[in-house]
Structure 1
Amino acid sequence: MPVPSPHRTIEIPEVSVYDVLFAGLTPEEEGRVAVTDSATGSVTTYGELRDRVDAFAGALAHRGLGVGDVVALHAPNSLAFVVAFHGIMRAGATVTTVGALGTAQDIAKQVTASGASLMLTVGALGTAGVEGAKDAGLAEDAVIDLADEANGLASLLAEGHAAPEVAFDPATHIAVLPFSSGTTGVPKGVELSHRNLVANIVQCGPLLMANGQTPDSTIMCVLPFFHIYGMNVLLNTSLYNRLHIVTMPAFDLPRFLELHQVHDIDFTFVAPPIAVVLANHPLVDQYGISSLTTVLSGAAALDEKLADAVQKRLGVAVLQGFGMTEASPVTHVSTRGETPLASIGLPVANTECKVVDLTDADFAEILPPGNEGERSDAGEMWIRGPQVMLGYLNNEEATEVTLMRDGWLRTGDIVQYDHEGNVYVVDRSKELIKYKGYQVAPAELEALLMSHEAIADAAVVGYRRESDGEEVPRAFVVPQVGLDGNVLEIGKEELMVWVAQRVAPYKKIRMVEFTDVIPKSGTGKILRKDLRDVPVSA
């Protein structure tokens, strides 16, 4: 039997994203602060935000954009992103969000694949947006710099066009088209309907309010809005809960801490790399962030020891969430004071979860263990719920591999259950290292390496040895810098021996490379493909 959600079943409103967020604004809510843009210092209320979204939608409709059109949005976390993002959907068009650090080639591919007819970019991100749009065949007047004084956001809003009357089926109309590697490694357009996003908003909103958020909460939004985690959890669900959002265009530790201090931020969303900094960096102690009560980590698995270190150092509750683009994104959220630190918890409302045996041709289901303190065998987690995507854009083959005919979504993540049904992420199935027939999870070795005092960051990938064709664990390590500014030293052999003393023989690190930085995506996921091609050092 699949593990059901412990939360009561909720009714999913059959409305657009705009309607669930803005249609019911009360006079009191209209005056509440919605967004503080830390880069510009602007402060925008909910009423002002709704009016700007309407005006932006009107400007797009005046240009002939609406249902059936796709608009590419290439911008950092900012008020401009929020207005443009919701304005596009308010006009009935579909948003395809573009990674802020994407190259012109990456952007051209996405614009072409999505069929976008308009590119909205920001000059502060460089020329990649303009160049990518041009390479995709968009005309010069189909590219708008939102920061441009003459033709950008301010100009569009000043035109004063009323928002259009649009009609579509929320269950089938695509609201957003983010691109994800899914379980197959190649970026694909993920078709998420208005109902998908609305479902996850109403699934997550009450859970977050029960897990540390309050009606007066001020939250930090540094994780990128272009990614589904930032888009539908940090941005949309926070607007749904009527919180005060502080945007940050990119992570910078001093500025991050300063904003917490100045705005009395009490709830912060992070990815594991930020958790590492909060647990270890000496600068953290120089700021007054006592208002912070809750840190919620997502985008990648959070190690239990790291979570505990953040809790103890900051005096906060650390929670975990799990999601993927194909699930809009949240499937699990841990419960404050109940869920073990290492677990992502139980499914959100209206969601089922099961773990299947990938070695079985019929995907036999793995059941939770019967005894406390035990964990089940590891298997791939499957999810079913109203937040699951419609499918991949123009890619029926990939859709059939990932989305089963009975509605189950294959996550590609290897997990275990405990006796209560709490889920523990072991690793991504496609990232497992096979050494002499044994499965080695990189995340487990990375967590161990990160516990060493001389290591600031680490990543583990498989390396195929030419001598015997065996795939072995290869570690990339960033040395820690002490308070005196000097690098803490440890030798490669010494480090491999240290690991060997703490793991099963088949899990031993066989190769070590020292590096200045671990390559990661904007949401903190390790870019293992970039590491696999790094030449072996002498």
Structure 2
Amino acid sequence: MALASRFPDVEIPDVSVPEFVLAAGREKPDAPALIDGLKGDVITHGQLAAYVDRVAAALHARGLRKGDVVAMFCPNTPWYPVVFHGIAAAGCVMSPINSLYTPDEIAFQLRDSGAKILITVSPFLDRVKAAIEKSPVGEIVVMDGAEGHASLVDLLSTDAPSAQVDFHPADDLVTLPYSSGTTGLPKGVMLTHRNLVANVAQCRPLIQLGEDERIIAVLPFFHIYGLTVLMNQGLAWAGAVVTLPRFDLEDFLRTIQEHKITRAFVAPPILLALAKHPLVDAYDLSSLTSILSGAAPLDEQLALAAENRLRKGADSGVTVAQGYGMTELSPVSHTTPDLGAEPPGAARGSVPKGSVGFAVPNSECRLVDPATGEDAATGERGELWVRGPNVMKGYLNNPEATAETIDADGWLHTGDVAIVDENGCYTVVDRVKELIKYKGYQVAPAELEAVLIGHPEIADAAVIGVPEKESGEELPKAFVVRSPGSTLTQDDVIEYMAGKVAPHKKIRIVEFIEAVPKSAAGKILRKELRAAG
């Protein structure tokens, strides 16, 4: 049984992402759009639109056309949105690369996406050079400049004519982030202009940003959560997005205080710091009205602890809540509305702290028993299925994985188990999929297992996530079968993996076993490993 959103449908303009996101800012060109949280540098809405036009023109002058992929590998800066929207305005597809990736991981994404140009920053150049030895690209642009490479200044100073692109928003891709989906190795998630426009529009009735909002952007723009919810949502309603290159608690708190941040979109590890770290008491956070958590499950008690502490310390009415989504959903499918923005008939503040809130407008949900395929009743557990304009076009060059995730009727099978109450509030309680959630990132066991088996002294391996008590996060744990005669130690395995994968994918715990339990079909029996500890 399809459960429609309790919110009325919203209009989804049939336009490109830059046209939609930059429209409101054109009405207030002198207002700040992007602010460097550490340096204080400002890009106004008027400047943003002009810079986007020049980046698009420079890319067209290089021969890039609609559908060509441009990879972007850099941390959050006020210039990230300039480049993203410039790529999009040129009709090209931006493929964001995780700032923590190793050369091998970068090379895989460049090769798989077919990127023609890579835009990066000088501190990342060593990793980029190592990556392109394995997967060459046509050009490397170094935003802050490096000998032998074009810079962002070069792009912005072009006198090339403005790019003229005939957009078909429902079909044309705008971004190609990589996700492990519900299982397996990373796959390119094909998101269209309509997907991203729809998702910003869908969030509007629940997250009612005003023109005077200041949003702190510490979650990375290379993550779809940062790209849609922080960057595009903030700019679309003519607010100011204040960027930080990485999470440092003192910088984070100081930026909230100095820039009078009104909203923070975070992941649970940041809320853990806000709830428990003594440094929090040294800063005035009273400008905050809302903290919304996503990317990983938020413990109910942690949400309450953070909210109570901030309300007491700052004498403010800040609320702490959470939403839900995934890259394949652009990413938001459910969220907790602002106080007073509840759907018709729902009481003010009626979303329980452990809930991810209501389904966004223009969407439908089903809860399906994975064992029987039958729809679950209200209050019963079922895999969450979602259908709506924010559902991805599919996985790049992977029709089989696409068909496993999106069925013939357009339902995206999330792999997460949820319940819905009589008010239409959803709570995620478990998952079918095998992904490990660590610090808001998805970690695919299959990817880590493939790297482990590449070690000459490892005969077989399996990886699961084990809960870390205080934060509620999962730590990647490897079960390793040594090759005959091997004296491999836990430290050896941990060190080996640390050199092969990004920090959030590192193995934290190692256990040596005689054999990896598998089904007759050869599938790893992770439930047995979890039961064994």
* TM-score (norm: length of structure 1): 0.79
> Does the aligned pair in 1 maintain the 2:383–2:415 contact within 8 Å?
yes
1:367 to 2:377 alignment: yes
Q: Quick one: which of 370, 374, 378 aligns to 1:358?
A: 370
Moved over 3 A (4+): 23-27, 456-466, 531-536
Query: Partner letter of residue 415 of structure 1?
Result: A
1:281 & 1:347 partners in 2: Cα distance?
Answer: 33
Q: Look up the match of 2:7.
A: 7
2:37 & 2:476 partners in 1: Cα distance?
Answer: 37
2:281 & 2:98 partners in 1: Cα distance?
Answer: 32
1:413 to 2:409 alignment: no
Query: Partner letter of residue 318 of structure 1?
Result: V
Q: Look up the match of 1:83.
A: 82
Structure-to-structure mapping, 1:151-162, within 5 angstroms: 151-162=150-161
2:136 & 2:476 partners in 1: Cα distance?
Answer: 38
Q: Look up the match of 1:338.
A: 350
Cα offset, 1:432, TM superposition: 9.2
1:432 & 1:269 partners in 2: Cα distance?
Answer: 22
1:124 & 1:76 partners in 2: Cα distance?
Answer: 10
Structure-to-structure mapping, 1:31-430, within 5 angstroms: 31-139=30-138, 142-148=139-145, 151-209=150-208, 213-315=209-311, 316-335=318-337, 336=339, 337-360=349-372, 363-368=373-378, 375-376=379-380, 378-430=381-433
1:367 & 1:352 partners in 2: Cα distance?
Answer: 15
With over 3 angstroms needed to count, the CA separation of the structure-2 counterparts of 1:57 and 1:295, relative to structure 1, is same
> Does the aligned pair in 2 maintain the 1:30–1:48 contact within 8 Å?
yes
- Helix, strand or coil for the counterpart of 1:68? coil
Cα offset, 1:23, TM superposition: 4.0
Cα offset, 1:68, TM superposition: 2.5
With over 3 angstroms needed to count, the CA separation of the structure-2 counterparts of 1:366 and 1:442, relative to structure 1, is farther
With over 3 angstroms needed to count, the CA separation of the structure-2 counterparts of 1:388 and 1:292, relative to structure 1, is same
**RMSD, aligned CA:** 2.5
1:240 & 1:460 partners in 2: Cα distance?
Answer: 36
1:144 & 1:114 partners in 2: Cα distance?
Answer: 18
With over 3 angstroms needed to count, the CA separation of the structure-2 counterparts of 1:463 and 1:85, relative to structure 1, is closer
> Does the aligned pair in 1 maintain the 2:480–2:511 contact within 8 Å?
no
With over 3 angstroms needed to count, the CA separation of the structure-2 counterparts of 1:458 and 1:271, relative to structure 1, is closer
Instruction: Give the count of matched residue pairs.
Output: 451
**Can you give the 5+ residue segments of structure 2 that lack an aligned partner in the other structure?**
312-317, 340-348, 437-463, 482-497, 514-533
Q: Deviations over 1:143-174 (max 9, x none)?
A: 11111077311121112333211113111011
1:459 to 2:474 alignment: yes
1:333 & 1:247 partners in 2: Cα distance?
Answer: 23
Cα offset, 1:236, TM superposition: 0.5
- Helix, strand or coil for the counterpart of 1:30? coil
Cα offset, 1:40, TM superposition: 4.1
1:66 & 1:206 partners in 2: Cα distance?
Answer: 35
1:464 & 1:127 partners in 2: Cα distance?
Answer: 33
1:420 & 1:462 partners in 2: Cα distance?
Answer: 38
- Helix, strand or coil for the counterpart of 2:95? strand
1:223 & 1:432 partners in 2: Cα distance?
Answer: 20
Cα offset, 1:208, TM superposition: 1.1
Cα offset, 1:264, TM superposition: 0.7
- Helix, strand or coil for the counterpart of 1:235? helix
Cα offset, 1:59, TM superposition: 0.7
Query: Partner letter of residue 238 of structure 1?
Result: G
- Helix, strand or coil for the counterpart of 1:411? strand
Cα offset, 1:185, TM superposition: 2.9
Q: Look up the match of 1:530.
A: 507
With over 3 angstroms needed to count, the CA separation of the structure-2 counterparts of 1:397 and 1:268, relative to structure 1, is same
Cα offset, 1:223, TM superposition: 0.3
> Does the aligned pair in 1 maintain the 2:67–2:93 contact within 8 Å?
yes
- Helix, strand or coil for the counterpart of 2:507? helix
With over 3 angstroms needed to count, the CA separation of the structure-2 counterparts of 1:4 and 1:442, relative to structure 1, is farther
1:432 & 1:42 partners in 2: Cα distance?
Answer: 39
Query: Partner letter of residue 474 of structure 2?
Result: A
> Does the aligned pair in 1 maintain the 2:93–2:174 contact within 8 Å?
yes
Q: Deviations over 1:20-66 (max 9, x none)?
A: 12245444x11110000224431010000010010111111111112
1:334 & 1:77 partners in 2: Cα distance?
Answer: 26
With over 3 angstroms needed to count, the CA separation of the structure-2 counterparts of 1:391 and 1:465, relative to structure 1, is closer
2:478 & 2:176 partners in 1: Cα distance?
Answer: 34
1:256 & 1:352 partners in 2: Cα distance?
Answer: 36
